[in-house]
Amino acid sequence: MNVQTQIDTTTSPRTTEHFDVLIAGAGISGVGAAYHLTTQCPGTSFVALEAQKTFGGTWTTHRYPGIRSDSDLHTFGYRFKPWTTAPIASAAEILKYMGDVIEENDLAPHIRYQHTITSAKWSSEENLWTIEATRTDTGEQLRFTTNFFWMCQGYYRHTEGYTPEWKDMAKFKGPIIHPQKWPEDLDYKNKRVIVIGSGATAATLIPAMANDCAHVTMLQRSPTYFRTGRNAIEIAEELRKLQVDEIWIHEITRRKILFDQDAFSRKTFEEPEAAKKDLLSAVEAYLGKDYDIATHFTPKYRPWRQRIAFIPDGDLFQGIKSGKASVVTDEIDRFTEKGILLKSGKELEADIIVTATGFHLCANGDIEFAIDGKPLDFADTVTYRGMMFTGVPNLVWVFGYFRASWTLRVDLVADFVCRLLTHMKETGAKKVTPQLRPEDHNMPLLPWIDPENFNPGYMMRGMHLLPKRGEKPEWQHNQDYWAEKDEFPAIDLKDKAFVYG
């Protein structure tokens, strides 16, 4: 770090700090980026600026009862740090794991909390990004310059969740709560609760609250697929019995999980009806033949068109079976003083309503971007493999996987960035800008993701904010870990898609 300039005004930042790399965010992606920089690019100066008071991102923001992962921690954990307990983990366990990574690798001095990045401006004259940030504790304005901007700010807005506008919401007498803003002191003991939503958040909240509430109702417009089973990975248990080293257990278990997930993913495309049957029979094993699985747990879409959450030990279904929780599949007509009137005419009464209705997609971390004085709209760019953007120099965004754990891509993108930075150092290049090659010019440009492939609500609502995708693998985020694990290390840094300067 060095202090470059002194600007003596009260409104502008007084100093500018320079770093070789600046990371936005200290979630699982930002901490991973910091680790890989220290190990693969030693000597590189870097800082991570994080808006919140601590690291963790998603796992710090969400504090609702029961908050846990919906994918296994052998693959949601980093490849370099073994996960040694049950695969589905609570937010507290994930934060402990991330805290250990920070401590063991001395990353804390590189992370600054309560620093919200507000703008990022690229200058081709200086080959630098100027990053402005606000300290949320003091209001101080800070300025940084960096050669390379590594965006690890996630994919949704952390400051507020998405709640649709329903008629007469104001009439409801009780609290209406979005899980992203869970009040610490919310007392739901012996209360009647409606959770609106059918995704992983609803499926986590319901079993966590069911024992304390008078009753909890999951109100969904349409059903979602879930996977269920024991919260354990057999092969990890076996290897542990044999006292195999945890580093080996982590690697072998990852390979087994990824092998099985690959087979399952393929099945959803090649034999969707068989895949559907597998998923539904697991639900039936918990709920019994008499339960109306056709109405409440049989989605209309092909499996994997939306994320499939894992329900450990079938706890959601056990809650329903016990009668403490129930599912209503219907549409909301309007809110009433006492609860919710459904389109079927039935009224559901409640003391508390929880809107587990998702996120606001946020592609740029609410950062104002400009290139040489011209405002940058990412929707005008084409993505290079879902991580770089045409016309945007020295910038990478980490957008993980939906059908596999997000973090698998954190490690893959980091390997690529570190290789790219080393290549630039060796060749003396100051900037790299992705650009469509002559052979790409007639390529049709499409939305970021094909809705036939993956179509959760937040994606559909926010697609217009995202960069474009091309038809070729280089110009899309194909959500295919099994292809990218081989393709990424083989990326030719001399390809014409990279313009150096």
- What residues make contact with ligand FAD under the rule CB under 6 A? 24-30, 49-52, 57-58, 62, 69-71, 76, 116-117, 152-154, 158, 201, 365-367, 398, 400, 405-406
Closest CA to 410 of 433, 388, 387: 387
**How many CB atoms are closer than 10 A to CB 385?**
20
Q: How far is the CB of 367 from ligand FAD (least distance, A)?
A: 5
Q: How far apart are CA 351 and CA 347, in angstroms?
A: 13
Report how far residue 494's alpha carbon sits from residue 30's, in angstroms, rounded to the nearest whole number: 27
Quote the distance between the C-alpha of residue 3 and its chain's center: 34
Reading the block at residue 29, the tokens are: 């992606």
Q: Which is nearer to ligand FAD, 314 or 400 (CB)?
A: 400
User: Where does residue 270 rank: exposed (0-12), middle (13-18), buried (19+ CB within 10 A)?
Assistant: exposed
Distance separating alpha carbons of residues 424 and 418, to the nearest angstrom? 10
Nearer to ligand FAD, 215 or 461 (CB): 461
Contact, 90 vs 132, CB < 8 A?
no
Q: Give the angle subtended at the CA of 97 by the CAs of 92 and 101, to the nearest 5°.
A: 145
24 vs 497 by CB, closer to ligand FAD: 24
The neighbouring-strand residues paired with 347 are 341
In the complex, what is the shortest distance from the CB of residue 448 to ligand FAD, in angstroms, rounded to a whole number?
16
Q: Cβ closer to ligand FAD: 217 or 405?
A: 405
Q: Least distance (Å) from ligand FAD to the CB of residue 115? A: 6
Q: How far is the CB of 158 from ligand FAD (least distance, A)?
A: 5
Q: How far is CA 402 from CA 50, 97, 408, in A?
A: 24, 21, 11
Please report how close the Cβ of residue 289 comes to ligand FAD at its closest, in angstroms: 31
Looking at beta carbons only, is 50 or 474 nearer to ligand FAD?
A: 50
Nearer to ligand FAD, 98 or 371 (CB): 98
Give dist(CA 430, CA 499) in Å, integer. 11
Residue 226 CB, shortest distance to ligand FAD, in Å, is 13
Q: Which is nearer to ligand FAD, 236 or 362 (CB)?
A: 362
CA–CA dist 418, 410 (Å, integer): 12
Nearest approach in angstroms of CB 372 to ligand FAD is 21
DSSP letter string over 475-493?
GS----HHHHHHHTTT--T
CB of 485 to ligand FAD, least distance (A): 16
The CB-of-272 to ligand FAD minimum distance in angstroms stands at: 22
Choose among 300, 301, 296, 330: nearest CA to 316. Answer: 296
The encoded tokens of residue 144 equal: 């940084």
Least distance between ligand FAD and beta carbon 464 (Å): 20
C-beta of 22 vs 432, nearer to ligand FAD: 22
Question: Taking the CA of residue 409 as centre, how many other CA atoms within 13 Å lie in the half-sphere pointing to its CB?
Answer: 23
- Bridge partners (DSSP) of residue 145 are 18, 130
State how far the Cα of 169 lies from the Cα of 336, in Å rounded to an integer: 7
Judged by beta carbon, residue 51 or residue 491, the one nearer ligand FAD is 51
The alpha carbon of 491 is separated from its chain's Cα centroid by a whole number of angstroms, namely 25
Rounded to the nearest whole angstrom, what is the least distance from the CB of residue 285 to ligand FAD in the complex? 23
Tokens of 104: 């063991």
SS3 196: strand
Are 127 and 430 in contact by the 8 Å Cβ rule? The answer is: yes
Residue 297 or 399: which CB sits closer to ligand FAD?
399
Cα–Cα distance, 491 to 488 (Å, whole number): 5
Closest CA to 57 of 83, 80, 33: 33
Residue number with CB closer to ligand FAD (69 or 228): 69
Q: How far is Cα of residue 445 from the mean position of the Cα atoms in its chain?
A: 25
Measured from the CB of residue 27, what is the shortest distance to ligand FAD in angstroms?
A: 2
Residue number, 312 or 400, with CB nearest to ligand FAD: 400
